[in-house]
Amino acid sequence: MSELVVEKISKLYQGEPILSEVSFSVKDGEFVALLGPSGSGKSTLFHLIGGISKPEQGAFYLDGINITGQRGAISYTPQSPSLFPWRTIIDNVVLGLEIHAKPDYDRARTMLQKAGLSGYEEAYPHQLSGGMQQRVAFVRALLSPQDFICLDEPFSALDEFTRLEMQKWLLTIWEENRQSVLFVTHNIEEALFLSDRVIVLSSKPAQIKKEFVVPFERPRREELLLSEEFLKWKKAIYQELQGNHDERHH
């Protein structure tokens, strides 16, 4: 079980507020997307959850325990794959585990197989494509001992086709484990396609603008992306985001 509660988080950066009273929660087994324009402090929020910096105000609770400022409480996949170039793929995916316990290579091998990466266990990261590297990074997050997974725009560096492949892949892998996921993105389609709930952030300072509960059934298929209803939702969220811009100009 793992449930994250974000309570009234505020953060200043060089005197400017970048997060202002941000509150939301991710329930056990829920996939939540945090959607906001670039530079809206989404990554900062992750740094705060990860304990790299401390918020001026507010707290994080994981399963009821205060984890504010505590490192290593969540499992994390950054924007770039951040694989260790001198480690083989198998050694890379066990790293998260290795930091806290003894690595389980058999489980890692099974996971890599499920992720469509069998045969690459002994390869080095530079021999893999960008999409595959990102898969490895995600498998590393899944294998980490923490149950709660934070994904920081993991597909933003990929091209459109690879990105869709990766999204479908992520969904199939996730369906098997149903771990709680907080997914940060600036792509509306991605947020809608993947998540159970989309939280829209405004920028400067980031505040929760609106929350959308995504009604689409799981497992989700690619066809969904072109359905009438999907486009309707996309439009609604787009207008919500546009609203941000108008407010800023006025």
Partner 1 sequence: MRHRFSIMKRFTAKTVSPMLVLVLLLVIWEMSSRLLDIPAWLLPAPTVIVAEGIDGWGNYQHHLISTTQLAFFGFLIGATVGLVVAMTLHLLPAVKRAIYPLLILSQNIPIIVLAPLLVIWFGFGVMPKLIVITLVCFFPIAVSTIDGFRQTSYELLHYMHMAGASKQQIFTKLELPHALPSIFSGLKIAATYSVMGAVISEWLGANQGIGVYMTLAQSSFRTDRVFVAIFFIMILCMIFFGAIIGLEKVLIKGRGKEDES
Residue 78 in the binding site for partner 1 (CB under 8 A): yes
**CB nearer to partner 1: pick between 11 and 209:** 11
**CB nearer to partner 1: pick between 58 and 81:** 81
Residue 68 in the binding site for partner 1 (CB under 8 A): no
Place of tokens 């919500």: 240
Task: Give min distance, CB of 145 to partner 1, in A.
Answer: 10
Q: What are phi and psi of 191, to 5 degrees?
A: -60, -45
For strand 75-77 and strand 149-152, is the pairing parallel, antiparallel, or unpaired? parallel
* DSSP 3-state of 189: helix
Residue 74 in the binding site for partner 1 (CB under 8 A): yes
Residue 130 in the binding site for partner 1 (CB under 8 A): no
Tokens (6 digits) for 217: 């059934």
Site size for partner 1 (CB under 8 A):
29
Place of tokens 């324009």: 37
Q: How many CB atoms lie within 10 A of CB 146?
A: 18
**Which of the ranges 85-93, 165-173, 192-200, 241-249 carries the binding residues for partner 1, by CB under 8 A?**
85-93
Residue 87 in the binding site for partner 1 (CB under 8 A): yes
Q: Dihedral angle at the C-alpha atoms of 233, 238, 243, 248, nearest 10 degrees?
A: 150
Our measurement of the distance from residue 23's CA atom to the centroid of its chain's CA atoms, rounded to an integer in Å, reads 17
Cis peptide upstream of residue 78 (ω within 30 degrees of 0): no
How is 57-68 classified by DSSP, letter by letter? EEEEEETTEE-T
Tokens (6 digits) for 98: 């290795």
Residue 71 in the binding site for partner 1 (CB under 8 A): yes
Tokens (6 digits) for 243: 């609203």
**Which of the ranges 23-31, 65-73, 176-184, 202-210 carries the binding residues for partner 1, by CB under 8 A?**
65-73
Among 86, 106, 176, 215, binds partner 1 (CB under 8 A): 86
**CB nearer to partner 1: pick between 104 and 175:** 104
Contact letters (x/-) for partner 1, 19-58, by CB under 8 A? ---------------------------xx--xxx------
List interacting residues with partner 1 (CB under 8 A): 46-47, 50-52, 71-76, 78, 80, 82, 84-88, 95-96, 98-100, 124-127, 144
